[in-house]
Structure 1
Amino acid sequence: MIKMNFNKYVILTAICIFISCSLYAQNKRLEKANENFNRFAFVDARKIYLQVAESGYESRELFKKLGDSYYFNAQLEDAVPWYEKLTSKYNEEIDPEYLFRYSQSLKSIERYDDADQVMEKFNVITGNDQRAEYFMNTRDYLKFIEMQSGKFRLLKLSVNSKYSEYAPSFNHLGQLVFASSRAGSGMTKVLHEWNEMPFLDLFSSDIIEANGILQSPKKMKGKINTKFHESSTSFSKDGQTVYFTRNNYTKRKLGTNTEGTILLKIYRATLKEDKWTDIEELPFNSDEYSVAHPALSADGTKLYFASDMADSRGLSDLYEVAINQDGTFGTPRNLGDKINTEGRETFPYISDSGRLYFASDGHIGLGGLDVFVSVPEETGEFSIPYNVGKPVNSDEDDFTFVLNENTKIGYFASNRRGGKGNDDIYSFKQTEDLITECNQYVTGVVTDAVSKEVLANAEVMLMDDNNKEIGLVATDNKGRYKFDLECETSYIVRATKTSYSPTEAILSTNNALEYEHNLALQISTGSIDDKKEYKKGDDLALLLDLEPIYFDLDKSFIRPDAEVELQKIIAALKEYPELKIDVRSHTDSRADDNYNMYLSERRAKSTVKYILQKGEIDPSRVTGRGYGETNLINKCANAIPCEDQEHQLNRRSEFILID
């Protein structure tokens, strides 16, 4: 017994030591991986994370880091299984940001229904995240993208290598300048630990304008290329100035932030003869945040760029800054919520017509970064962004879009399947104009309110919120009608037919790019003058079968539910010009009797004002006064206890026929 117990103790001790050592080793490996991850050395970190995962170790942090190591290297399809494990095993503890990344990754393998379900959960958890709002307002995004698709035809391009090519831009010499990690001048750069690709240099290729084909690329001359990253250029019209992105490397000195990470900065260079010299960094750069991917406006007075500076909404936002005549700069301005989201907005490009093209994973698209376009508005701001559709956009990252609006030839980069390298440049010919207006509609069926029979040849009128007629149609033989609408606008839709009382509904459009509102309208038989019991002193609200016009406690403003009913009053006054009414407003018994009389007067005036102004009714036809609590319709007088619903019945307006 003693020996057996001792042996058992030895065995247990050995097991504990083994487990302890194993856990210690795993923790050390994770520490090293986390160190690599925090330096953006995702490939090195991933190797360690995978070893730990393969040994059977599981944790929320491990799955997050594994997913991120693929996600931030644009390998979204490989991120899916790790985010899937994260969301299934740690569902109650998940950071909402990982739901967004999971949804984006699912799109990369075209699991759009699953991606939408994840975004619905993301919306419930976040509530006010702009990306969730975009998603909820554009539930038909695939339908819109399908409508937008096919307006570009991809062309063959042989400039790509087995490495990475992206960030095309036009210069003044009819060339395309782009970033590439291919070897230049027979010398290969050091591998970058982020993705184990050589560092990027800037190259230029002559463009054959007829078809956009590029000649053999040459490395740009001068001091513009260094042993670190250079990318994303933008040239002045005269070709004498270039803005470009580089790692934080100034005067042969490498800069880092407080955590030791090398970030990005924008630099400006001047052309002397055929070499770029006088390189200077822009004054709004910082060691503590990235400033990157410059884009000049056509007139050269503004510079657009991406940054994660202090007031950015997400991982990177788009900004603009004025360029003064003396070459100095104004203060950078965030382009705001219409353009920027909590995700990534990056790689801006301004066309000669002033359109802003950019890449984003915060606006709803097909997966990863998609290319969007925003058109300049009269206010000086940009419109809501429109996805440019397929084939430019895919389920992978698509970005750095540029377009010559004269030749309709353009270029963009993508890491889509079937490419030659890590990122490839694609050329295209634009064949049709893009949809850059918000398209919304209202459709519906007009029926008899009692029999539910569809009503053909009923008149349906569309009016603005001031009751001005915008459109008038007759329903077809199936009772259907349709109107085109503007986005984010309020309307009134009115249905009428001989021997029927008119009915109206208020409709407000949203900011969805392609959206159809369905509004069924029911009308009741019998006009006002058809009712045998109609007489002076009757309540028009009863004759029109209106819902009561209620007010909030101690308030006199017109509630949205009351607006719908008041529009019916306006419709009746317009249909029957001889009608005159007296608006009688009442309160409940709470508060002082004199105050209630004053409150009811306010309510009567508020109601009369709405009818006169919104309906443009002759003031001689509508009068009104308040009655306080003198005409209660139930037991709820002073000192009698009642529920709030009972008191509300007394806070009402009546519409008494006086002529």
Structure 2
Amino acid sequence: MKNILKLFLAFTFLTSSLVSAQEGKIKKGNKEYNENAFIDAQQAYLKVVENGFKTQDVLQKLGDSYYFTADYENATKWYEELYNSYGPSVSPDYLYRYAQSLKSLRRYRASDNIMEKFYAINGNDNRAVFFANERGYLKQISEAPRFEVAKVNFNTKLSDFAPSYYIDKLVFASNGQKKSEKPRTHNWNDQPFLDLYSISVEASEESVEAFSGKVNTKFHESTAVFTKDGEAVYFTRNNYTKGNYKKDANGTNRLKLYRGKKQENGNWDIEELPFNNNEYSVAHPALSVDEKTLYFASDMPGGKGASDLYKVTITDEGFSVPESLGDGINTKERETFPFVSSDNKLYFASDGHVGLGGLDIFVTEIDGENHFKKVYNLGAPLNSPFDDFTFIINAATDTGYFASNRKGGVGDDDIYSFKRTAPLVITCDQVVDGFILDETSKEPIAAAKVVLLDENNTVVSESTSEANGHFTFNLECVKAYSVRATKEGFSTEEKSFASSETNKTVIEKTLLLKKGKDLNVSPIGIGSDLAKLLNLSPINFDLNRYNIRPDAAVELQKVIAVLNEYPTMKIDVRSHTDSRGRDSYNKTLSQKRAQATMDYIVKEGGIDRTRITGMGYGETTLLNHCSNGVKCEDYVHEQNRRSEFIVVEN
């Protein structure tokens, strides 16, 4: 999507490069980049690379500046140069963006090759696990169309998107409907600011009208949702309240949510919602069927990816604290533009779930307080290799609208109408079938506890191995799983896999458990680090976050197994950050990471809390040279973001 609103979804913060001849240009590019002014940032970086200065950092930012504005052709160009020049040191996130960009250009074989590299170094990542069966699923959603799509007649040469129902009208966002000869433009992409417009659903282009001047301002307004009676509206606007235009600490004006209530004279009384924040964006509202829950997208701290979906409860007193929709919905990439249909389905756009390229539109059923069923891609032709987003549907008529920047449109982003012609969900079931065996003797292990976990490390089902070591679980198709086996006196073992798109497939898995005497963790002296003794993969954390990642959870289960094997052992969890950020902030962050690690061991492992202590050490004990002021790539910094498990009593 080349429009302005999508730009807020790039949330990477960058440091300035201090390189003599090109220092000024790079600093200018970094400043524009940090403010999400990607067009200006591109010009600065291009001047640098034209002079032959192609550092890894500059190539990453240049590629990102195109990726986050949906110019996948140029993103591919610069990611390709990044990969060719710095292949071994390119972090997994850049490999993923490179693969996504290639996919958007329909270079599927090249995309698969890069995803193979991603899978090899980041195999525990959900995106990598899904890759194992993605190609068959892509064929399925590409060749089983469920929608008829048509252009609407009121698109402009710029951006038109975010349709919403308003009684008998359609309200949408546009920066191409303005009639003035020299409209105000934004420095992010040199295009006019967005406003909201309305049109009768069956009307012609001439009937497009600007929405209320109480809602529209001289800055951006977009993505609105109305109550059924039309008496209230929630919408997105720049951080501009009562004439005050505010920026975050980096000089970026973020997005906020506002509510308008219609007055007797027809005007709207506008208020800012209380859970907004000057330091991050809160945007793109959707209402539940009973209008008591407000869904939205945000890049607030503590999220899983570039932007996550959240919800708040609407009460007579105000709003509850924002709550994430969870790992089943949110990924490490972008989830945004939610919509809830009258039959209680949640639709949203994402480039983190398996899709055709760029943002795709997905659907899940809302099942209970905060539980969502399996996420499905709506498939072609509604989705495309480009960005497809802001989907709405009238469930009674199976018709609706969405926006896309696909080729063949009138402008940068265009609105399309659609009619659903086939059911959304395809029934598909599979089975994992296997055995639990002694690793040395290969004899079956009976009565072992076997647990099936989903991609979020949540227990799906449990069973006990039979006399011959056999176990079996039912699976959903095209989904990531792990199967874990435990038994007293044996090691804990786990295998990850992904189901395919083929119905009635049987996946075979055998888990080999070591006997206690073979665990190679005894004797364990006081002061020993279990991470080294068990040869654990690093318990890494994402930048500025303290949630337990799925790959870390797998390793923590091994620590839990040792603590169960040695019931008198006590450990001290020591959490560390890298040097980026304020020293005091890093101290607080590391303490949260230590606490999260201890909480996981206690809650998931059933370990007595008196056996675990912990502390955050911030950036006081770095493993490498990346101290304050030293420029390092993210993957080098990541070595310092770790947890240790020191035995203090055995």
Task: Report the TM range for the smaller structure's normalisation.
Answer: 0.5 to 0.7
1:515 to 496, 501, 506: 501
CA distance in 2 between partners of 1:263 and 1:374 (Å): 29
Q: Please tell me whether the aligned partners of residues 429 and 475 of structure 2 are also in contact (alpha carbons under 8 angstroms).
A: no
Q: Partner residue of 1:155?
A: 150
Q: Please tell me whether the aligned partners of residues 320 and 334 of structure 1 are also in contact (alpha carbons under 8 angstroms).
A: yes
**What is the SS of the residue equivalent to 1:134?**
helix
| Alignment-mate amino acid for residue 111 of structure 1 | R
CA distance in 2 between partners of 1:312 and 1:221 (Å): 34
Q: Deviations over 1:271-293 (max 9, x none)?
A: 22574422111110000111000
CA distance in 1 between partners of 2:126 and 2:40 (Å): 34
CA distance in 2 between partners of 1:493 and 1:140 (Å): 32
**What is the SS of the residue equivalent to 2:274?**
coil
Deviation at 1:308, TM superposition (A): 1.0
1:184 is the counterpart of 2:178: yes
Mark the CA change 1:505 to 1:112 in structure 2 (over 3 Å): closer, same or farther.
Answer: farther
2:220 to 229, 232, 236: 229
Unpaired runs of at least 5, structure 2: 1-18, 434-447, 450-458, 479-499, 520-650
Q: TM-score, normalised by structure 2?
A: 0.65
Report % sequence identity: 47
Q: Please tell me whether the aligned partners of residues 396 and 414 of structure 1 are also in contact (alpha carbons under 8 angstroms).
A: yes
Q: Partner residue of 1:7?
A: none
Q: Deviations over 1:416-444 (max 9, x none)?
A: 1111111111111111111165543689x
1:351 is the counterpart of 2:310: no
1:259 is the counterpart of 2:250: yes
**What is the SS of the residue equivalent to 2:214?**
coil
2:303 to 312, 318, 326: 312
1:83 is the counterpart of 2:62: no
Q: Please tell me whether the aligned partners of residues 212 and 268 of structure 2 are also in contact (alpha carbons under 8 angstroms).
A: no
Mark the CA change 1:341 to 1:520 in structure 2 (over 3 Å): closer, same or farther.
Answer: closer
**What is the SS of the residue equivalent to 1:67?**
helix
Output the aligned Cα RMSD. Answer: 3.2
Q: Partner residue of 1:199?
A: 193
Q: Partner residue of 1:145?
A: 141
Q: Partner residue of 1:67?
A: 63
**What is the SS of the residue equivalent to 1:145?**
helix
1:271 is the counterpart of 2:259: no
Q: Please tell me whether the aligned partners of residues 432 and 474 of structure 2 are also in contact (alpha carbons under 8 angstroms).
A: no
| Alignment-mate amino acid for residue 318 of structure 1 | L
2:380 to 368, 390, 407: 390
Q: Please tell me whether the aligned partners of residues 220 and 237 of structure 2 are also in contact (alpha carbons under 8 angstroms).
A: yes
Q: Partner residue of 1:342?
A: 332
Q: Partner residue of 2:636?
A: none
Of the two structures, which has the highest relative contact order with CA contacts closer than 8 Å and spacing of 6 or more?
Answer: 2
1:424 to 408, 414, 427: 414
CA distance in 1 between partners of 2:396 and 2:117 (Å): 45
Q: Please tell me whether the aligned partners of residues 429 and 476 of structure 2 are also in contact (alpha carbons under 8 angstroms).
A: no
Q: Partner residue of 1:645?
A: none
| Alignment-mate amino acid for residue 66 of structure 1 | L
Q: Deviations over 1:294-313 (max 9, x none)?
A: 00112111000001112211
Q: Partner residue of 2:163?
A: 168
Mark the CA change 1:511 to 1:99 in structure 2 (over 3 Å): closer, same or farther.
Answer: farther
Deviation at 1:224, TM superposition (A): 0.4
Q: Partner residue of 1:37?
A: 33
CA distance in 2 between partners of 1:520 and 1:207 (Å): 50
Q: TM-score, normalised by structure 1?
A: 0.64
- Spell out the pairing of 1:566-581 with structure 2 (5 A cutoff): none
CA distance in 2 between partners of 1:493 and 1:442 (Å): 13
**What is the SS of the residue equivalent to 2:26?**
helix
Deviation at 1:54, TM superposition (A): 2.5
| Alignment-mate amino acid for residue 74 of structure 1 | A
CA distance in 2 between partners of 1:427 and 1:353 (Å): 19
**What is the SS of the residue equivalent to 2:207?**
coil
- Spell out the pairing of 1:493-532 with structure 2 (5 A cutoff): 506-513=471-478, 514-516=500-502, 519=506
Deviation at 1:76, TM superposition (A): 1.2
CA distance in 2 between partners of 1:314 and 1:99 (Å): 16
Q: Deviations over 1:461-508 (max 9, x none)?
A: xxxx99xxxxxxxxxxxxxxxxxxxx96689999xxxxxxx9996444
| Alignment-mate amino acid for residue 86 of structure 2 | Y
CA distance in 2 between partners of 1:54 and 1:79 (Å): 16
1:280 to 271, 277, 285: 271
Q: Please tell me whether the aligned partners of residues 432 and 473 of structure 2 are also in contact (alpha carbons under 8 angstroms).
A: no
Q: Deviations over 1:483-538 (max 9, x none)?
A: xxxx96689999xxxxxxx99964445554353475599xxxxxxxxxxxxxxxxx
Deviation at 1:57, TM superposition (A): 2.7
Q: Partner residue of 1:594?
A: none
| Alignment-mate amino acid for residue 240 of structure 1 | E
CA distance in 1 between partners of 2:127 and 2:204 (Å): 38
Mark the CA change 1:518 to 1:258 in structure 2 (over 3 Å): closer, same or farther.
Answer: same
Q: Partner residue of 1:216?
A: 207
**What is the SS of the residue equivalent to 2:318?**
coil
Deviation at 1:189, TM superposition (A): 3.0
Mark the CA change 1:491 to 1:154 in structure 2 (over 3 Å): closer, same or farther.
Answer: farther
Q: Partner residue of 2:285?
A: 294
CA distance in 1 between partners of 2:350 and 2:174 (Å): 22
CA distance in 2 between partners of 1:31 and 1:313 (Å): 29
CA distance in 1 between partners of 2:79 and 2:48 (Å): 16
Mark the CA change 1:215 to 1:553 in structure 2 (over 3 Å): closer, same or farther.
Answer: farther
Deviation at 1:203, TM superposition (A): 0.4
- Spell out the pairing of 1:117-136 with structure 2 (5 A cutoff): 117-136=113-132
Larger radius of gyration: 1
Q: Please tell me whether the aligned partners of residues 431 and 473 of structure 2 are also in contact (alpha carbons under 8 angstroms).
A: no
CA distance in 2 between partners of 1:274 and 1:207 (Å): 25
Q: Partner residue of 2:52?
A: 56
Q: Please tell me whether the aligned partners of residues 207 and 214 of structure 1 are also in contact (alpha carbons under 8 angstroms).
A: no
Q: Partner residue of 1:330?
A: 320
Mark the CA change 1:274 to 1:442 in structure 2 (over 3 Å): closer, same or farther.
Answer: farther
CA distance in 2 between partners of 1:156 and 1:550 (Å): 62
- Spell out the pairing of 1:577-596 with structure 2 (5 A cutoff): none
**What is the SS of the residue equivalent to 1:515?**
coil
CA distance in 2 between partners of 1:271 and 1:165 (Å): 25
Q: Deviations over 1:66-101 (max 9, x none)?
A: 211111111112210110110111012212211111
Q: Deviations over 1:144-167 (max 9, x none)?
A: 3135x3110012311100010111
CA distance in 1 between partners of 2:322 and 2:403 (Å): 27
Unpaired runs of at least 5, structure 1: 1-22, 444-464, 467-486, 495-501, 522-546, 556-659
| Alignment-mate amino acid for residue 216 of structure 1 | S
| Alignment-mate amino acid for residue 218 of structure 2 | K
Deviation at 1:390, TM superposition (A): 0.4
CA distance in 2 between partners of 1:550 and 1:417 (Å): 57
Q: Please tell me whether the aligned partners of residues 308 and 315 of structure 1 are also in contact (alpha carbons under 8 angstroms).
A: yes
**What is the SS of the residue equivalent to 2:285?**
strand
Deviation at 1:198, TM superposition (A): 0.9
Q: Please tell me whether the aligned partners of residues 490 and 509 of structure 1 are also in contact (alpha carbons under 8 angstroms).
A: no
| Alignment-mate amino acid for residue 102 of structure 1 | Y
Mark the CA change 1:117 to 1:253 in structure 2 (over 3 Å): closer, same or farther.
Answer: same
| Alignment-mate amino acid for residue 375 of structure 2 | P
CA distance in 2 between partners of 1:214 and 1:493 (Å): 67
| Alignment-mate amino acid for residue 190 of structure 1 | R
| Alignment-mate amino acid for residue 322 of structure 1 | T
